[in-house]
A = this chain, B = another copy of it.
């Protein structure tokens, strides 16, 4: 896949998240991956995502900055949401949260096998309860 194709693939992945089509993760996420250095299966990864959207039903993944090169994607995701429960270990039910995530992916073919993510947890804490 070239950079244009990989960009499109990544935007398709974000659409899967935003449309809650979690069965389609199989097209974007390898069977086994590492998330911030920890090995996990795609099922583990799906569980993480489903927990987030259960706590934050209006969670929307908006790519504010997107940089693609070779088999790598780097994205700044901008979030503007209102959790209904504990999110990122922070009690934030009913609070409007605006924060960013900076995340790197490595693809092996059409699916990513490695994720390195930093979330602006300080911003969430400041705006949370």
Residues on A lying within 8 angstroms of B by beta carbon are: 3, 65, 67-69, 72-74, 76, 100-104, 116, 118-122
Contact = CB atoms under 8 A, between A and B. Distances in A.
Number of copies: 2
Q: 5 closest pairs, A vs B, by CB? A: A74-B74, A102-B102, A67-B74, A118-B118, A67-B72
B118 A102 contact: yes
Contact of A104 (B73, B102, B116, B122): B102
Contacts of A67: 67-69, 72-74, 104
A120 B103 CA distance: 12
A68 to B, nearest CB: 6
Nearest to A72: B67
B104 A65 contact: yes
A88 to B, nearest CB: 10
Given A65-B74, A67-B67, A118-B120, 15 more contacts: A65-B116, A67-B68, A67-B73, A67-B104, A74-B74, A74-B102, A76-B116, A100-B116, A100-B118, A101-B118, A102-B104, A102-B118, A118-B118, A118-B119, A121-B121
